[in-house]
Chains A and B, each alone.
Chain A
């Protein structure tokens, strides 16, 4: 079956760095997405990786290793507004998005 694993919850301190991991097993691979979702709101797009390596976008970076079925989202200089759920999603061979359950990130002052 298809499976996306990410930690349920993480806690970090304002100003620090946090890495949220995602491992996946899917039938085919056409890219991995990270979305941010604040409570009660719809997800917003953060990043897309289809090739191995690191993609940097401001304070956020996303890494992909296709051979390992592994990705991480790196958040630097954490701000209180970064408290949210972070969803990892993989597009399979049928171009369907398979969603992880999300990682709730709690930022403490």
Chain B
């Protein structure tokens, strides 16, 4: 099946620094990718929809200046957490759809666990 790779898997940073997370579709082109965050024992929360070549669409309550999303190519989307604070510590997951499956199946990256000290 389609493979989505996410990097880094784990990142620890100091408060005030910025962290970039990459999401790559390895064997297919993804015109749309999705970014989620997940707190412990909670479900996925959609943060934004990333569209190749255009601005991301953010969900209500998600600060677009805080969580910068760039979808520079059909196989790469990046999420940058700017001026990270401890409350930004979370599990960040990306997903992508091939757009060709009748099931509309999403393929998820491995996730990136961010810890802000």
A87 touches B103 (CB 8 A): no
Is there contact, CB below 8 Å, between B106 and A48?
no
Residues on the A chain within 8 Å of B91, using CB: 40
Whether a CB of chain B sits under 8 angstroms from the CB of A96 is yes
- Report A-chain residues with C-beta under 8 Å of the C-beta of B104: 30-31, 48, 91, 95
**A87 x B43 contact (CB < 8 A):** yes
Interface SS of chain A: helix, strand, loop or mixed?
A: loop
A99 CB–B CB distance under 8 Å: yes
Spot the interface stretch: B65-73, B79-87, B109-117.
B109-117
**Number of A-B residue pairs with CB-CB distance less than 8 Å in the complex they form:** 44
List residues of chain B with CB within 8 A of the CB of A96. Answer: 46
Q: Is the CB of B103 within 8 A of A41?
A: no
CB contacts (< 8 Å) of B6 on chain A: these are 42
Judging by beta carbons under 8 Å apart, are B111 and A45 in contact? no
Using CB atoms and an 8 Å cutoff, list the residues of chain A in contact with chain B.
Answer: 30-31, 33, 40-45, 48, 87, 91, 95-97, 99-102, 104
Other than A42-B6, A43-B44, give 16 A-B pairs with Cβ distance below 8 A.
Answer: A31-B103, A33-B106, A41-B110, A42-B108, A42-B110, A42-B111, A44-B108, A45-B107, A48-B104, A91-B104, A95-B104, A96-B46, A99-B46, A100-B43, A101-B43, A104-B41
